[in-house]
Amino acid sequence: MGLISNGTTIFDNGSMASGFGSSLNFISKATASSSASIEFTSGIDSTYKEYVFYFNNIHPATDSADFQFNMSTDSGSNYNVTKTTTFFRARHREDDAVTSLDYVTGNDLAQSTSFQIIINNAGNQNDESSSGTMTLFNPSSTTFVKHFMTDINTYGQEDASYRRFVAGYGNTTSAIDAVKFQMSSGNIDSGEILLFGVS
């Protein structure tokens, strides 16, 4: 399978593309540089029924900060969508002393407007960072709730690989038109977030 791009669209040039008929359409990119937050207040609309955020080496300024997000129905004036979510992770330390797969009760939400944690206890050492994706489904629907899923890997505390999976829904039938990412404390020291629409 090969991937090709014309600068705005990434797609498989083989049978998979023709079989599924989908492609990633680049919308925008935000680069953090000691940034308090990253907001996407345009580009999330009825053009696509699926949007994917790509996180590239997200690195916090503050050790053990949580990377989190929230959604808006009023173009970013308020980020307070009610959410119900799940959070689980796989963990493996370099010294092989800890291997686990567990549900993290303290990181889920039950009908809460709080920011949802998608990376907990991120490390701020020079070589520590997180990369992965978050998919938001049909945000412009005025009929259904707004489902999302994340899949993110982190090299972080305890010299370990953490793969975190978060899923849930924004319990609103209003259109989602903005998304905000931030750390629970301190800035996003560096990293990129790219937004694509899936057609």
pTM: 0.89
pLDDT in tens, 143-175: 999 999 999 999 987 889 999 999 999 999 999
26-72, pLDDT tens digit by residue? 999 999 999 999 999 999 999 999 999 999 999 999 999 999 999 99
Map out the domains of the chain as residue ranges: 22-198
Edge-first strand order for the sheet with 65-72 is 37-40, 178-183, 65-72, 116-122
CATH pick for 22-198 out of 3.40.1350, 3.40.720, 2.60.120, 2.60.40: 2.60.120
Considering only CA atoms, which of 96, 72, 98 is closest in space to residue 83?
72
